[in-house]
Amino acid sequence: MFLAGIVLYKLRFDKVTWQRYALLALCLIIQPLLFDDGGKSKVFVTQMEYNLMLVLYFVIFLLYIHDRLRWVVNPVTLYLGSISYVLYLIHQVVGIMIVTPWLVSWFGLNYWVATFGIALPFIFVLASLIHFYVEKPSMEWIRGRWKAMRA
């Protein structure tokens, strides 16, 4: 997969050659053969699921390198991208370990209602607040200090 990533990068930002496509095809053929050496992941997914996801990954990246994914860039995905780091940092601790268990144990809510109906929207709001009122101002301050030090 690492080699496939390098080849995809070369196809996107360097010269498109049939040799690179051949190498990419070889990566796609060899990768399923390594499934049994994949560690614990083989316990959670079947060989068929793994193969389908591999093909999906390759198709998505091929669409990307040929500029066929422009529809993905829209206000919703740009917003999600802007809060993604904060979401990554807080979702598990706040959503899974605090909010959902609290809603289920204290209010007797169904797990799925508590998770998707309340905890998930709460996490998005919290991530947005942290991004706009902590992360962005902090980054602007840090960049300002860095520019002042360079000058």
- The domain limits of the chain are 2-71, 75-150
pLDDT range class, residue 39, cuts 50, 70, 90: confident
pTM over 0.75? The answer is no
Q: What is the largest CA-CA distance in the chain?
A: 61
Which residues neighbour 4 within 8 Å (Cβ) at sequence distance 6 or greater? 24, 27, 28, 31, 58
pLDDT above 90 coverage of the chain, percent: 79
**In this structure, what are the phi and psi dihedrals at residue 16, rounded to the nearest 5 degrees?**
-85, 120
Return the number of other C-beta atoms located less than 10 Å from residue 46's C-beta. Answer: 10
- 25: pLDDT confidence band, cut at 50, 70 and 90? very high
